[in-house]
């Protein structure tokens, strides 16, 4: 069974008189454990698609089934619960909370989910070790390098063991070498079974994925997974 | 999200912006402190006046010569211009009224006291032995004026503590002779020091029998007649009895004013309570201002932390969780401000009491409770709007603000 099934998804923005079809009748199906790169020119709808997949945005038409369940009809609170448990986000600009330490940032999703502090501490310690951040647990984001920040962000995105990891330009703010480290890290997670969807401008990074979705003007121009 | 985590998160968020947080806490603190100190002042004034009045005696009815202006027009007033004197006989006649427990006439004048080679001006009060029972005087030595014929009176004097100090120093005064004007009087008692009070401070007074005072000042009229009713419920009846009795003695003319201490006290009490409430109300305006400041601070916080709110939503926070976190932050600002202000206010009242020891400047309970509740509720009410705004933010839009 597909982890993600999009059918006839459309997202329309109205800007004054003009109408922007950010997503236009999209049909995509992604299997568990897949590694997908979403590519395309600027403004083609990549981020809009990722936001829809992450339940941060609602489509104007079509249906979205996540792990077999229609999630477009869920209430906002139910969607929040799905985001909390089944989806992990990694952003281009890291989005770490500046006043919290690395450990506290990683613990944030567990705190929001109401997981007891003792269990949080234990899982954070493990995650810090897994992501090579044990020496940085008490550091605030401004005391970390870009690569370390993104590693904290990835640790945070995966701490709840989501079904799908969504990354929007995860290397956009990093130099080549650090960016490669981050991609390696994401791929390692994918190899352990996590579905990975990466939006990228970078053809090299895109080429590393098993499957490429090419977007243009809100339409899916090509999908390497379908031949 | 667990409650403890909401509170911790809110606390960390507030302390991450120390200047902004401390300013709004300060504003709230000033508001609460203002209410506490000002009501302490107002209520202190009220208590002070009430205490002083109570010290004058209980169930007191006082007769003043002359008709008070509030009496209104009456043909009798229009016809006679000179009221009758209020005499010792008038006072004595009142002792026969059934509801009256005690009566004390009072004449007041200035004279010189001369003894032991020292001379000083004194205020002389002419009265009777009953006066000490009405006023509850405490004696430092000897006894108060002896009982006897009200009109004649023995050649004796009771002196205040300060007079005794100045004339006799550390030596005993009782039994000594003093000159008061052209009279030679024997000291029979020394009053205990009472300190500063409303009306007469007995420390610098001397008491002589009413008859002695009247011949000393060559007068027949009294300054006051003090009457103690048999009970609190009899005060109004005594007032009527006294008025009727004196009217009969003065040829049908109502030429005296009878006041009750209760009425005066009630008026003062009401006035000062109203004043305290008004002052509290004015101070409460600063609480509303502080509430608006908290709202402003929280709106700034929402704007400044828009990206963070978007992130929290992406990480699975429900709208209600975000709302609670921001409400908790607003509540903390108000709560810390309120209790800081309460502490400051109590300290202010303490300083007032140190500076003016006779002045019981304690904030009334109602004012403290009202101030704390008002500050908390303004903080919460003004916190709702920013918190709801935060909860309603669109996560995609919010995440783009960076
Ligand atoms: N909130 C919005 N209001 C109006 N138009 C929007 C909004 N969000 C996106 N769009 C429009 O939808 C289209 C797709 O935007 P989207 O952000 O998905 O592009 P993208 O492929 O991620 O581009 P980039 O590579 O530059 O990030 C664009 O034309 C954009 O202007
Ligand atoms: Mg984009």
| Extents of the domains making up chain A | 32-58+83-223
The percentage of chain A sitting over the pLDDT mark of 90, rounded to a whole number, equals 96
Residue A168 has which token pair?
Answer: 């929007």
Please identify which residue in the block is written with the tokens 């990891």. Answer: A165
- Please name the residue whose Cα sits nearest to atom 30 of ligand 1: A43
Whether ligand 1 lies within 6 angstroms of the CB of A44 is answered as yes
Fold of A32-58+83-223: Rossmann fold (3.40.50)
pLDDT of res. B272: 86
Check residues B184 and B50 and name the one with the higher pLDDT.
Answer: B184
Confidence label for B170 from pLDDT (cuts 50, 70 and 90): confident
Q: What digits encode the pLDDT tens for the residues B220-273?
A: 889 999 999 888 788 889 999 999 999 999 888 888 888 887 777 788 888 888
B316:A109 CB<8 A: yes
* Interchain proximity B319–A77, CB inside 8 Å: yes
Alpha-carbon distance B150 to B209, whole Å? 7
pLDDT surpasses 80 at B292: yes
Ligand 1 center to A95 CA (angstroms):
19
CA B112 to chain centre: 35
Contact call for residues B330 and B298 (beta carbons, < 8 A): yes
Q: What pLDDT score was predicted for residue B72? A: 47
ipTM for the predicted complex? 0.95
**Nearest partner of B333 among B24, B16, B34, judged by Cα:** B24
Percent helix, strand and coil across chain A, each to the nearest 5 = 40, 30, 35
- Average pLDDT of A8-17? 93
Q: Is the pLDDT of residue B70 over 60?
A: no
Asked whether the beta carbons of B402 and A93 are under 8 A apart, the reply is yes
pLDDT of residue B2 exceeding 70: yes
Q: Is B263 on the interface with A (CB under 8 A)?
A: no
Mean pLDDT of chain A: 95
pLDDT higher than threshold 80 for residue B336:
yes
The pLDDT tens digits of the residues spanning A193-214 come to 999 999 999 999 999 999 999 9
Question: Hey, of A71, A111, A112, which one would you mutate to test binding to chain B, going by the most B CBs within 10 A of its CB?
Answer: A112
Residue B288 — pLDDT band, cuts 50, 70, 90?
confident
Give the residue-averaged pLDDT of A112-123. 96
Which residues are bridge partners to A185 per DSSP?
none
What count of other Cβ atoms lies within 10 Å of the Cβ of residue B251?
10
Question: Secondary structure of chain B: what % helix, strand, coil (to 5)?
Answer: 60, 15, 25
CB atoms within 10 A of CB A83: 26
Highest mean pLDDT among A107-121, B50-64, B134-148, B368-382: A107-121
Name the percent of chain B lying above pLDDT 90.
47
Q: Best of B10, B20, B315 to disrupt the A interface by mutation (most A CBs within 10 Å)? A: B315
Chain A residue with the nearest C-alpha to that of B325 = A112
Among B1, B16, B314, select the one facing A83 at the smallest CB separation.
Answer: B314
Confidence of residue B71 (pLDDT cuts 50, 70, 90): very low
DSSP per-residue string spanning B292-354? HHHHHHHHHHHHHTHHHHHHHHHTT--HHHHHHHHHHHHHHHHHHHHHHHHHHHHHHHHHHHH
pLDDT score recorded for residue A27: 95
């Amino acid at each position: 069974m597909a982890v993600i099934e999009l059918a006839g998804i459309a997202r329309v923005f109205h800007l004054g008189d003009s109408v922007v079809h950010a997503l236009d009748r999209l049909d995509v199906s992604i299997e568990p454990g897949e590694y997908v790169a979403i590519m395309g020119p600027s403004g083609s709808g990549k981020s809009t698609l990722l936001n829809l997949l992450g339940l941060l945005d609602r489509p104007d038409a079509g249906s979205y089934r996540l792990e077999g369940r229609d999630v477009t009809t869920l209430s906002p609170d139910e969607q929040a619960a799905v985001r909390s448990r089944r989806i992990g986000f990694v952003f281009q600009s890291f989005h770490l909370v500046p006043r919290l330490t690395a450990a506290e940032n990683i613990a944030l999703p567990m705190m929001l989910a109401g997981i007891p502090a003792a269990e949080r501490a234990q899982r954070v310690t493990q995650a810090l070790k897994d992501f090579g951040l044990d020496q940085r647990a008490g550091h605030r984001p401004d005391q970390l390098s870009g690569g370390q920040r993104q590693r904290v962000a990835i640790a945070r995105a995966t701490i709840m063991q989501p079904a799908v990891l969504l990354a929007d330009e995860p290397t956009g703010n990093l130099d080549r070498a650090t960016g490669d480290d981050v991609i390696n890290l994401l791929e390692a997670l994918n190899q352990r079974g996590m579905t990975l969807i990466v939006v990228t401008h970078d053809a090299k990074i895109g080429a590393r994925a098993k499957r490429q979705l090419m977007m243009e003007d809100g339409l899916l121009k090509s999908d390497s997974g379908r031949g | 999200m667990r409650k403890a985590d909401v509170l911790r998160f809110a606390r960390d968020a507030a302390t991450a912006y120390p200047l902004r947080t401390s300013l709004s806490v300060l504003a709230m603190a000033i508001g609460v402190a203002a209410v506490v100190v000002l009501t302490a002042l107002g209520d202190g004034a009220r208590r002070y006046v009430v205490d002083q009045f109570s010290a004058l005696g209980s169930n007191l009815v006082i007769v003043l010569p002359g008709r008070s202006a509030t009496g209104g027009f009456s043909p009798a007033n229009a016809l006679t211009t000179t009221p009758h004197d209020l005499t010792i006989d008038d006072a004595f006649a009142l002792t026969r009224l059934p509801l009256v427990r005690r009566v004390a006439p009072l004449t007041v004048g200035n004279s010189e006291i001369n003894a032991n080679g020292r001379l000083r001006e004194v205020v002389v009060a002419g009265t009777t032995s009953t006066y000490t029972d009405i006023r509850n005087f405490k004696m430092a030595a000897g006894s108060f004026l002896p009982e006897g014929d009200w009109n004649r009176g023995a050649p004796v004097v009771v002196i205040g503590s300060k007079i005794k100090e100045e004339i006799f120093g550390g030596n005993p005064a009782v039994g000594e002779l003093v000159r008061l004007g052209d009279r030679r009087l024997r000291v029979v008692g020394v009053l205990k020091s009472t300190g500063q009070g409303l009306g007469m401070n007995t420390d610098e007074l001397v008491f002589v029998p009413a008859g002695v005072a009247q011949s000393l000042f060559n007068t027949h009229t009294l300054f006051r007649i003090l009457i103690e009713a048999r009970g609190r419920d009899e005060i109004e009846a005594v007032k009527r009895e006294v008025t009727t009795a004196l009217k009969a003695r003065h040829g049908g003319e109502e030429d005296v004013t009878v006041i009750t201490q209760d009425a005066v006290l009630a008026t003062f009490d009401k006035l000062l309570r109203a004043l305290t409430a008004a002052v509290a109300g004015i101070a409460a305006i600063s609480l509303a201002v502080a509430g608006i400041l908290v709202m402003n601070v929280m709106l700034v916080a929402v704007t400044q932390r828009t990206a963070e709110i978007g992130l929290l939503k992406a990480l699975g926070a429900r709208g209600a969780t975000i709302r609670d976190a921001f409400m908790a932050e607003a509540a903390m600002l108000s709560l810390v401000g309120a209790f800081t202000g309460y502490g400051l206010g109590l300290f202010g009242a303490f300083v007032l009491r140190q500076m003016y020891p006779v002045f019981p400047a304690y904030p009334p309970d109602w004012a403290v409770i009202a101030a704390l509740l008002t500050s908390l509720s303004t903080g919460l009410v003004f916190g709702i709007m920013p918190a709801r705004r935060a909860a309603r933010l669109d996560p995609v839009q919010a995440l783009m603000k960076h």
